Amino acid sequence: MSSPTPGTEPAEIAPIKPREGKRVLLAKPRGYCAGVDRAVIAVEKALELHGPPVYVRKEIVHNRHVVETLRERGAIFVDETDEVPEGALVVFSAHGVSPAVHAEAAERNLRTIDATCPLVTKVHKEVNRFAKSDYDILLIGHEGHEEVEGTAGEAPEHVQLVDTAEDVDRVTVRDPSKVIWLSQTTLSVDETMERVDQLRERFPEIADPPSDDICYATTNRQVAVKALAPECDLVIVVGSTNSSNSKRLVEVALKAGAKDAHLVDFAHEVDESWLDGVTTVGVTSGASVPDSLVMNLLDWLAERGYGDVDEVTTANEKITFSLPKELRSTVR
Ligand code: SF4
Residues 116-138 have pLDDT tens digits of 999 999 999 999 999 999 999 99
- Give the mean pLDDT of 173-186: 98
Q: What is the pLDDT of residue 20?
A: 82
Look at residue 29 and tell me whether its pLDDT is greater than 90: yes
The pLDDT of residue 6 is above 80: no
Task: Report the C-alpha gap between 124 and 302 in whole angstroms.
Answer: 44
Kindly indicate the confidence band of residue 160, based on its pLDDT and cuts at 50, 70 and 90.
Answer: very high
What atom of ligand 1 comes closest to residue 118's alpha carbon?
Answer: 8
pLDDT of the residue at 313: 97
The verdict on whether residue 185 carries a ligand-binding annotation is yes
CA of 307 to the centre of ligand 1 (A): 31
Rounded average pLDDT over 291-315: 97
- Quote the ligand 1 centre to 15 CA distance (angstroms): 29
Q: Is 244 annotated as a binding residue?
A: yes
Q: Using the mean position of ligand 1's atoms as its centre, give its distance from the Cα of residue 146 in Å.
A: 13
Domains for the chain: give ranges and CATH numbers: 18-33+215-317 (3.40.1010.20), 34-117 (3.40.50.11270), 119-214 (3.40.1010.20)
pLDDT of residue 66: 97
* Residue 1, pLDDT score: 37
Lowest mean pLDDT among 16-30, 37-51, 295-309: 16-30
Looking at every residue in the chain, the average pLDDT score rounds to 95
Average pLDDT rounded to a whole number, residues 49-54? 96
Q: Measuring from each residue's beta carbon to the nearest atom of ligand 1, which residues come in under 6 Å?
A: 33-36, 94, 117, 119-120, 185-186, 215, 217-218, 245, 287
**Percent composition of the chain: helix, strand, coil (DSSP 3-state, to 5):** 40, 20, 40
Cβ within 8 Å of residue 238, ≥6 positions away: 31, 246, 263, 264, 265, 266, 283, 284, 285, 286, 289, 293, 294, 297
Q: Please tell me whether 232 is known to bind a ligand.
A: no
The pLDDT value recorded for residue 5 is 65
Q: Three-class SS of residue 9?
A: strand
Q: How confident is the model at residue 17 (pLDDT cuts 50, 70, 90)?
A: confident
Model pLDDT, residue 16: 81
Catalytically active residues are 147
Q: Is it the case that residue 264 has pLDDT exceeding 50?
A: yes
> 148-151 — which CB contacts under 8 Å span 24+ positions?
148/184, 149/98, 150/95, 150/96, 150/97, 150/98, 150/101, 150/116, 150/120, 150/124, 151/96, 151/98, 151/120, 151/123, 151/124, 151/127, 151/182, 151/184
Which pLDDT score, from 0 to 100, does residue 18 have? 75
Q: How far is the centre of ligand 1, averaged over its atoms, from the C-alpha of 32 (Å)? A: 9
Tens-digit pLDDT profile for residues 230-243: 999 999 999 999 99
- Please name the residue whose Cα sits nearest to atom 5 of ligand 1: 35
Q: Which of 120, 182, 242, 246 to mutate to test the pocket of ligand 1 (most atoms within 8 A of CB)?
A: 120
* Position 193 confidence tier, pLDDT thresholds 50, 70, 90: very high
pTM, two decimal places: 0.94
Give percent of the chain with pLDDT exceeding 70. Answer: 97
Q: What average pLDDT score do residues 79-89 get?
A: 96
% of the chain at pLDDT higher than 90: 92
Q: Is 268 annotated as a binding residue?
A: no
The stretch 133-158 carries a mean pLDDT of 97
331: confidence class by pLDDT, cuts 50, 70, 90: very low
Which whole number is the average pLDDT over 23-44? 98
Which residue out of 36, 97, 148 has the highest number of ligand 1 atoms within 8 Å of its CB and is therefore the one to mutate? 36
Is 11's pLDDT higher than 90?
no
> Does the pLDDT at position 327 exceed 70?
yes
Q: What is the mean pLDDT of residues 65-87?
A: 97
